[in-house]
Amino acid sequence: MKNVVALVASAALAAQGVSAHYIFQSLAKGTAKGQAYQYVRRNTNYNSPVTDLASNDLRCNVGGAAGGSTGTLELSAGDPFTFSLDTAVYHQGPISLYMSKAPSTAAAYDGGGEWFKIYDWGPTFSGGQASWNMKDTYSYTIPRCIPSGEYLLRIQSLAIHNPGGMPQFYVGCGQVRVSGGGSASPSPTVRIPGAFKATDPGYTANIYNNFHQYTVPGPAVFTC
Ligand SMILES: [Cu+2]
């Protein structure tokens, strides 16, 4: 009986399409998992994706336009950091990291300015098979040469598991205060929305058919 109830419950969740989705919930210094929503803006769409390429919600997810009570994480340029999810990324597709410098504080910033990309986790190809980096934590480092100041640090999972269907963006924004930075002007920069187009090869790719190479959407990765 217990199993029947569990089956019915999971069928109901599947019908809503939410059972296997995921939320970027926390950001911490180093490789720690961090506390949910301490430094990541809290979204209001549970674990649903954003699919509208023209929406401001592509920046920091639905409900993430303002800092609210979100804290701002102190990091030095070059420091490692880790984003964690409630459950591992479930849909195939690239994971990317972006930053945008706040005019004043990260908490007050809506992400309407220029964004640069600092990293992509794309697929690796081996023996005719593609594999994607689907984890519950993603670690990288703050570029050493970027100017000190407050930034939105954004992570994006672009789910392209359903060719012909609408790709899904799972995004979250952390707030960071970077010290000890340099004097680089990170480039190229893009606006969000605007950075992703329906015609991008990496957006329309069919990952199940003759899939041997892939270009992650968005600007080139900035390196110091
Ligand atoms: Cu899904």
| Any domain includes 198 | yes
Give this prediction's pTM: 0.92
State the distance from the centre of ligand 1 to the C-alpha of 172, rounded, in angstroms.
16
Residue 106 in domain: yes
Residues 6 or more apart whose Cβ sits within 8 Å of residue 56: 65, 110, 111, 112, 193
Instruction: Read off the pLDDT of residues 213-223 as tens digits, 9 standing for 90 and up.
Output: 999 999 999 99
- 185, 222 Cβ separation under 8 angstroms: no
Number of separate domains in the chain = 1
Q: How far is the CA of 170 from the centre of ligand 1 (A)?
A: 10
d(CA 222, CA 202): 19
pLDDT band at 128 (very low <50, low <70, confident <90, very high): confident
Structural domain contains residue 10: no
Whole-number Å distance between alpha carbons of 68 and 58? 18
Ligand 1 centroid from CA 159, angstroms: 8
Structural contact between residues 104 and 160, judged by C-beta atoms closer than 8 angstroms: no
Centre of ligand 1 from the C-alpha of residue 45, in Å: 13
Ligand 1 centre to CA of 51 (Å) is 11
Q: Residue 56: inside a domain, yes or no?
A: yes
Domain of residue 99, residue span = 37-204
For tokens 């000890």, the residue is 180
- Give yes or no for residue 3 having a pLDDT over 80: no
Query: Which residues, listed in sequence order, are joined to residue 171 by a DSSP beta bridge?
Result: 156
Nearest-CA neighbor of 156 among 222, 223, 63, 91? 91
* CA of 49 relative to ligand 1 center, distance in Å: 8
CA distances (Å), origin 203, targets 93, 109, 160: 9, 28, 7
CA of 34 to the centre of ligand 1 (A): 25
DSSP β-ladder status, 168-179 and 73-76: parallel
Q: What is the mean pLDDT of residues 16-36?
A: 88
Give the bridge partners for 85, in sequence order.
Answer: 24
Does residue 145 fall inside a structural domain? yes
CA of 20 to the centre of ligand 1 (A): 6
> 160-180 pLDDT, tens per residue?
999 999 999 999 999 999 999
How far apart, in whole angstroms, are the C-alpha atoms of residue 209 and residue 176?
A: 40
Instruction: Indicate if the pLDDT at residue 16 is higher than 50.
Output: no
Residues, the chain = 224
Give mean pLDDT, residues 90-103.
98
Partners of 73 in the β-ladder: 176
Residue 5 lies in a domain: no
Owner of token pair 């803006």: 41
Q: What is the CATH number of the domain that holds 77?
A: 2.70.50.70
The pair of three-digit structure tokens given for residue 61, joined into one six-digit string? 């997810």
Per-residue pLDDT at 18? 54
Closest CA to 80 of 123, 139, 152, 5: 139
Task: For residue 76, tell me if it sits in a domain.
Answer: yes
Predicted confidence band of residue 9 (pLDDT cuts 50, 70, 90):
very low
Is there a domain that residue 224 lies in?
Answer: no
Kindly state the tokens that stand for 7: 């089956």
Share of residues in the chain with pLDDT > 90 (%): 89
